[in-house]
Structure formats: C-alpha cells, structure tokens
Amino acid sequence: MLLKSLTATKNPLSKTERQLEILSNGIFSTGSLPTFAQKIKQSNQFPLRPSKIEILQINVGYMCNQVCAHCHVDAGPDRKEIMTVETMQQILEVLKTTEINTLDLTGGAPEMNPNFRWFVEEASKIGVKDFIVRSNLTIILANKKYHDLPQFFAKYNIHVISSLPYYKREKTDKQRGDGVFDKSIQALQMLNNVGYGKENNNLKLDLVYNPSGAFLSTDQMALQNDFKKVLKDDFDIDFNSLFAITNLPISRFLDYLINTDNYEDYMYALVDAYNPKAVKNVMCKNTISVSWDGYLYDCDFNQMLGLNVAASEKHISQFNEEILNKRDIIISQHCYGCTAGAGSSCQGTVT
C-alpha cells in the first residue's frame, strides 16, 4: 500500500521525486535491503569513482515514435524535450578540447531530433573515433524522411545498436506495441542490405535484449546464439553481437513492478545476484551522460532520477574533464541492476 500511495497522482511529489523516495526506502514486508553503498563498502569500492571519461552518451530528446512498456526514459510521441543546436555546439566544443573519443547518441528516438543529421556530420568532421546511434529500428519505417537512414548511417560509419526485445513476434509486440516486430525485421534487412552486420565489413550492427517481465536476463552468449540462429533461419538477418541489459527499476518499469506487486521480489532478486566484480566495470566509470538540456549525469538512469553529477560544474557548457574525473559517482538502490550477475551496461554484460 505504501508503494502504490507514493505513485498515486494525488501525491504532491513529482514522479521523479516519488520514484527516488521509493528506491531509497528499501524497507519491505520481509525486512530491509542493504543499501548499495553498504554493499560496495564490503569490497572496498566505496566511494565509487570514475576511471577516465571515454564516452559522452548524449540524450538528444525524449521524443519517440514508440511507447515501450519497459522504457526508463518515459519516451513517446508526446514528449517535447529536444536538444537544441546551441547545446549540440557546446558538446562539439568539448569533443574538440578533450581526449573523449566515443559519442553515443540516444533518446527517445535520436533520429527524430530535427538537427540529428547536422550533429552527426559536424561530429564526424572533428574525427570522433567511435560513433554510436541507439535506434529503435521502427523509426526507419515511420516516415519517408527516415527511409534513407541505413545509407546515412553507413556513410558516417556509425555503429548502430538496435533494440529488439526478442526474436519472436508475440513477446516483442507485447513489450513495444503491435506491429513492432515486423517493422523491426524489415529495418534490420534494410541495414543488412547496405552492409551492416556482415562478415568482413566494418559496419557494426548490434542488438539489445531486455527481459519483458520482472526477471533477470539469462546468459548473454546463449541468447546471442539463439537470436543469430532464428533471425538467420527465418529472415536471413545477420548482426554482430547481442547485448543483454537488465531492466532497472526506474520510470515505466518501476511503475509496472509496483502495479503488479513485483517490486519487492525484483529488488531482492537484484540484491541476491549482486556481483562485486561487476562494480569495477559499470558504465559510469568511463561515461558521462548528457541530458537534452545539457546537464551532466553519471549515467542515463541517474539522469531520469534527476541525480546530477557531484561536481560544481553540472552543465556541458562548464565541462571540466579534470574535475569530473575526480568526482564521486552518485549511487542509489537502482545501481543493483548494473551489478547483478554478469553486470549490465549499455554495451551489455560487464564481466
């Protein structure tokens, strides 16, 4: 009852504040969970600190052509938060003056930002070493103006990381909406046609698997083998790697856990699967997340919870690599999701 009252619309707290209150509570009917800080202290990893910033993960806007059940960004067609050219120019200045060599564009559907292509073109002129775009695939078919995205991606040698919850229609459509699976298959075929995911080709195409319910992912390599076999046999689709990512108890997925009375069990499952070895390679160690309005976060999950970096300079216009490399990383109970089992990051498992 406590959890559901905290998520009620009549609660004066904002949704972000309510979710932070729920996550920080940690007291359940069967007792209380240890805090994530307590856990990492046991292996002398507190406070959690970065290694070296190598990746800027940029959320260019929350607008999306899909409304996925597990989305921790709460993205959808009605979201109006869009990164401006001014903020993009500030990011380009950071890339020019630092040794950061990876640019990771996400959303929403990043391709829906009206300045998306301009940003890619300008970043390529700087000589970004590794350029990632996280695509939901169906955007390629959403409108004629997106139909040439595979060719655009190939032109700039963009590493495409695509969401595909499962290799079966029923599970994918249940999680992401009716018709998503068929459109995703067609989009993958279009990417294959320009060389993505093929042997002896440097155009990288990776897929992302998210569990569709209140459970943790199975072995990433086993899943990859299953995906490769079914997609090749049934649709003649090739891809490079599969990333198995744990759903973190944030936003829509947290609402789902609470509304289905699975929150307590899911949190215990994350804590029981905690792996101290995974802490060493969590994504916040080498990544800074930049929100659509230019504010800095340790990861995009912290971004959704409004937890800015612990540094005096909290905006991309104030970016100070030296200070950020010495900061303490902000942690909370949701961090158990990144350290369960083999660990989880935007590049899949971490151990």
The residue extents of the domains of the chain are: 2-7+48-262+283-325
Instruction: Specify whether domain 2-7+48-262+283-325 bears CATH 3.20.20.70.
Output: yes
Per-residue pLDDT band at 27 (split at 50, 70, 90): low
Residue 147 has a pLDDT of 97
Helices 263-272 and 251-259 meet at what angle, rounded to 10?
A: 120
Angstrom distance (rounded) from CA 138 to CA 60: 18
What are the tens digits of pLDDT across the range 288-347?
999 999 999 999 999 999 999 999 999 999 999 999 999 999 999 999 999 999 998 888
What are the tens digits of pLDDT across the range 333-348?
999 999 999 998 888 8
| Closest to 298 in 3D by CA, of 274, 280, 282 | 282
pTM, to two decimals = 0.93
The number of CA neighbours under 13 Å toward the Cβ of 29 is 8
Average pLDDT over residues 200-205: 94
Q: How far apart are the first and last CA of the chain?
A: 37
> Is pLDDT above 80 for 9?
no
Residue 31 has a pLDDT of 74
Structure tokens at 248: 């973190």
Please classify residue 201 by burial: count the beta carbons closer than 10 Å to its beta carbon, then call 0-12 exposed, 13-18 middle and 19+ buried.
Answer: middle
Average pLDDT over residues 135-140: 97
Residue 290 has a pLDDT of 98
Which secondary structure element, helix H or strand E, spans residue 57, and what is its range? Answer: strand 55-59
What are the tens digits of pLDDT across the range 233-271?
999 999 999 999 999 999 999 999 999 999 999 999 999
**Mean pLDDT score of the chain, rounded to an integer?**
92
> Is pLDDT above 70 for 8?
no
What are the tens digits of pLDDT across the range 43-74?
999 999 999 999 999 999 999 999 987 788 99
Residue 156 has a pLDDT of 96
Residue 2 has a pLDDT of 44
Give the 3-state secondary structure of residue 130: strand
Q: Which amino acid is at 20?
A: L
**CB-CB contact of 47 with 328 (8 Å):** yes
